[in-house]
C-alpha cells in the first residue's frame, strides 16, 4: 500500500512537471534527465512514471523543433527496451499508448465516400440541410416531383435517419410524412413498418451506442401519432414492446442486470 502511495505521488509530480514544460516554466533538459533515469532503470514504477510524463508533454517535445530529435531518440530507446524485456500486457499497452501520444499513427487511407446518384444527393440535401419550419411546404413540393417508383425506398431510408437531425425538429419529419400521405398513401405504411422493425432490432442488440437512435425513433413514433399518421393502437403496442421483457411477436429480449435503459 505504501509503495502504491509513493508511485501515485511520483506520477502526480511528474505530470505537474510535464504541464510546466508546455508553459515553458521548466527547461526541457530537466524532463529528458528524468526520462533518461527511468530508461536506465527500466522497471515497473519507472516505466509508469516515464509513460505519464510522455503522455503529458511528449507530443509538445516531439513537435518542438529544438527537442524533436532527442524526443525521437528517447522513444526509440523505450520501444527497444519494451521489445527486449518480457513485460506484462498492461505495461506493454501503457508504453504503446505513450508512444502514440507522442507520435499518433498517420491515416494511410481515408474512408471511401459512398457513391450516390445526383437524385439521392438532392434528397439528402432536402432532408438534412433544407428542411426546417419555414421550408417544410417547399420540401414537400420538391419531393413530389421525384420519381417515386424509383426513389421511394431511399426517401423512406432518409426519414429513418432521424438521429441526423436535431431532436427538437423530429416533428418536421412527421409533418412531412403526413403531408405526403395525401399523394402517396403507401409512404406511412413503409415508414411505420421500418421504424417498428428497427426498434425491435435495437432492443435485441441492446448496444449503448445505438440508444440515441432508439430515442429518436421513439420520438418520431410519438410525432407521427400527433400528426394523425398512426393510431393509438400502434403507440400502445410500441409502449408494451418497450416495457416488457418480450412477447410472442418480438421474442425474448433479456436485459443485462445493470441495464435500465428501457424502463
pLDDT of residue 246: 54
Distances (CA, A) of 136 to 42, 147, 159, 169, 172: 66, 19, 14, 11, 7
pLDDT per residue, tens digit, the chain (263 aa), is: 678 888 899 999 999 999 999 999 999 999 999 999 999 999 989 999 999 999 999 999 999 999 999 999 999 999 999 999 888 899 999 999 999 999 988 765 555 678 889 999 999 999 999 999 999 999 999 999 999 999 999 999 999 999 888 888 899 999 999 999 999 999 999 999 999 999 888 887 777 788 888 899 999 999 999 999 999 999 998 888 887 755 555 555 555 555 555 55
pLDDT of residue 258: 57
d(CA 107, CA 210): 26
Residues 6+ apart with CB under 8 A from 137: 179
Whole-model pTM?
Answer: 0.56
Residue 101: all three cell numbers together: 501520444
d(CA 78, CA 93): 13
d(CA 195, CA 159): 10
105 membership: H or E segment, kind and range: none
pLDDT of residue 93: 93
Return the DSSP state at 252.
Answer: E
Return the DSSP state at 57.
Answer: I
Amino acid at each position: 500500500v505504501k509503495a502504491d502511495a509513493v508511485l501515485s505521488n511520483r506520477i502526480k509530480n511528474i505530470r505537474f512537471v510535464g504541464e510546466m514544460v508546455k508553459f515553458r516554466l521548466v527547461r526541457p533538459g530537466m524532463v529528458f534527465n528524468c526520462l533518461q533515469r527511468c530508461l536506465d532503470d527500466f522497471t515497473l514504477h519507472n516505466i509508469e512514471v516515464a509513460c505519464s510524463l510522455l503522455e503529458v508533454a511528449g507530443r509538445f517535445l516531439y513537435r518542438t523543433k529544438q527537442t524533436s530529435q532527442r524526443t525521437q531518440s528517447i522513444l526509440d530507446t523505450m520501444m527497444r527496451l519494451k521489445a527486449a524485456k518480457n513485460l506484462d500486457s498492461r505495461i506493454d499497452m501503457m508504453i504503446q499508448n505513450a508512444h502514440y501520444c507522442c507520435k499518433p499513427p498517420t491515416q494511410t487511407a481515408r474512408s471511401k465516400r459512398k457513391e450516390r446518384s445526383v437524385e439521392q444527393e438532392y434528397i439528402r440535401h432536402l432532408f438534412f440541410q433544407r428542411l426546417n419550419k419555414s421550408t417544410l411546404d417547399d420540401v414537400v413540393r420538391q419531393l413530389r416531383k421525384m420519381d417515386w417508383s424509383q426513389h421511394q425506398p431511399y426517401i423512406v431510408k432518409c426519414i429513418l435517419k432521424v438521429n441526423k437531425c436535431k431532436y427538437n425538429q423530429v416533428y418536421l419529419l412527421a409533418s412531412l410524412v403526413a403531408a405526403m400521405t395525401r399523394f402517396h398513401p403507401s409512404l406511412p405504411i413503409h415508414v411505420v413498418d421500418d421504424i417498428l422493425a428497427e426498434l425491435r432490432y435495437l432492443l435485441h442488440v441492446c448496444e449503448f451506442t445505438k440508444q440515441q437512435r432508439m430515442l429518436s425513433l421513439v420520438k418520431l413514433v410519438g410525432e407521427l401519432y400527433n400528426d394523425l399518421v398512426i393510431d393509438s393502437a400502434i403507440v400502445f403496442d410500441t409502449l408494451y414492446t418497450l416495457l416488457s421483457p418480450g412477447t410472442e411477436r418480438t421474442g425474448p429480449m433479456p436485459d443485462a442486470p445493470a441495464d435500465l435503459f428501457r424502463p
